[in-house]
Amino acid sequence: MVEHKAQPAGLSGGFWTVTAILTALSIAAIVFWSIFPLEKYLPAAIITARQVDLLFRFMAASGSALWIFVAGYLLYFSIAFRARATDPPDAIGLQVHDNHKLEFWWTVIPALFVVLLSIVSVRIWYQVMLEPENGIVVQAIGHQFYFSFRYPQINGEVTDEMHLPRDVPVTLNLTSADVIHGFWVPAMRLKNDTVPGLVTTIKFTPIRDGRYPIICTQFCGVLHSEMDKQYLVIEEKPAFDAWFKKWQEKNAHASNALPSAGGGAVALQGGNASAGKALFAQKCSACHKVAPFSQTLVGPGLAGVLHDPSHPNLVNNQPATPQNVAGILQNGFTGSMGTMPNATANGLSRQDIANLVAFLDSLK
Ligand code: HEC
Ligand SMILES: [Cu+2]
């Protein structure tokens, strides 16, 4: 019978050779990510794109270096400590535990790294969030299956490209007319979802002329893959002004009504109050009580929404009429109390809205 001999615990010279090779490879990877000409392949269209690239380079460099060490040692150890032909079949590998020095360092080094990564990302996040907002305000609205854009002083919607003047700070408000879409311009390194009933804001300053694709990043329906055909055009102020004037004229008589799921006013005749009552319990009672206005849950109490003399106007300041309540149910509303979701978010058909209004109208 072969005698069991414990393998020596020390690290051989091979280990230090491998360590030297892995260190050299890691340094090469770090140098590669530091000098790689990212902007040659993906232009940086706004100031903060460079900050995001910096974060990306930092993560790619440290991730590559770490991966080279982990994968390199894994390979080396599996060769150095492999089972030999002379080992007995029940031989077990070298057992190491309670090595306090090792445990200390493999806790401290990753912890320090995560702290460093947080500091770098929070600083960059601040720069991205604290862009100035004294420039132009634009709205982008996701639709199945395109984006539309609204500008102050242009009626209605711009539906082909989104133009912006170079070097002017932009506040971009995002929302959706139907389902959740994602607004992503790779050249900006910024991305945000467009959510029905919610307005989210991104701020940035364009710095580079060009035509950059806008891509939807949420699977929003059967033609989602078509939502990469529109462009963000950044250009000099005079070119932008000419484009702006063209749309002002083109849209001179366009409607400013916000698009809504289904569009148009809901026909209220034919609403069934008892169907509305059942639906209310199912879809509204999480946020609304059937009680006076002041009895707030998430939204106000709705018992007197149509017939309370002390509640002449709805939260959107329109008179409390069945048609205006239907408008809120269809389009949603965000006010001081929070957000009332729109018909798409609440999953309401036009008949559902008519039934709910009939129910609310029946409350005295
Ligand atoms: C996620 C919570 C939420 C849900 C679900 C919800 N609401 Fe609301 N609703 C609100 C909030 C919040 C407001 C007030 C918005 C504001 O003014 O800030 C509101 C406002 C309203 C108003 C205007 C009230 C007034 O006095 O002007 C009506 C009407 C209304 N909701 C009806 C409904 C109905 C009907 C449903 C069910 C289909 C529903 N809501 C579902 C949160 C909700
Ligand atoms: Cu989409």
pLDDT tens-digit readout, 159-206: 889 999 999 999 999 999 889 999 999 999 999 999 988 889 899 999
Distance (Å) of CA 4 to CA 11, 78, 86? 20, 20, 11
Q: Whose CA is nearest to atom 2 of ligand 1?
A: 287
The verdict on 170 and 239 lying in the same domain is yes
Last-in-domain residue among 218, 250, 282: 250
SS3 52: helix
Flag residues of the chain having pLDDT under 70.
1-10, 256-266
Do residues 17 and 124 both lie within one domain? Answer: yes
Q: What angle do CA 164, 169, 170 make, to 5 degrees?
A: 60
Per-residue exposure over 261-280, b if at least 16 CB sit within 10 Å of its own CB, e if not: bbeeebebeebebebbbebb
Please give the tally of structural domains in the chain: 3
Closest listed residue to residue 221, CA positions, set 281, 305, 122, 144: 144
Shared-domain flag, residues 226 and 292:
no
Q: Are residues 122 and 174 in the same domain?
A: no
Q: Is the peptide bond before 145 cis (omega within 30 degrees of 0)?
A: yes
Note whether 110 and 157 are same-domain residues.
no
Strand arrangement of the beta sheet that strand 146-150 belongs to: 146-150, 136-143, 170-176, 200-204
C-alpha 218 – ligand 2 centre gap (Å)? 6
* Residue 88 placed within a domain: no
**Eight-class DSSP state of 211:** E
The answer to the question of residue 258 being in a domain is no
Residue 196 confidence (pLDDT) = 87
pLDDT of res. 130: 84
Does 348 lie in the same domain as 332? yes
Domain annotation covers residue 265: no
Where are the alpha helices (H) located in 36-129, listed in sequence order? 38-41, 47-80, 100-129
**22 and 125 fall within a common domain:** yes
CA distance 57 to 75: 26
Extract the tokens encoding 113. 């790294």
CATH number, domain with residue 244: 2.60.40.420
Residues 277 and 244 in one domain: no
Pocket of ligand 1 (CB under 6 A): 283-284, 286-288, 293, 298-300, 302, 305, 314-315, 325, 328-329, 333, 335-341, 346, 348, 356
Answer yes or no: is 66 within a domain: yes
Note whether 120 and 144 are same-domain residues. Answer: no
Give the model's pLDDT for residue 351. Answer: 84
The pTM score is 0.58
Same domain membership, residue 216 and residue 156: yes
Q: Which two tokens stand for residue 175?
A: 């929302």
Give me the domain span that covers residue 119.
Answer: 13-80+97-129
In this structure, is residue 261 part of a structural domain? Answer: no
> For residue 310, what is the domain's CATH number?
1.10.760.10
267 in any annotated domain: no
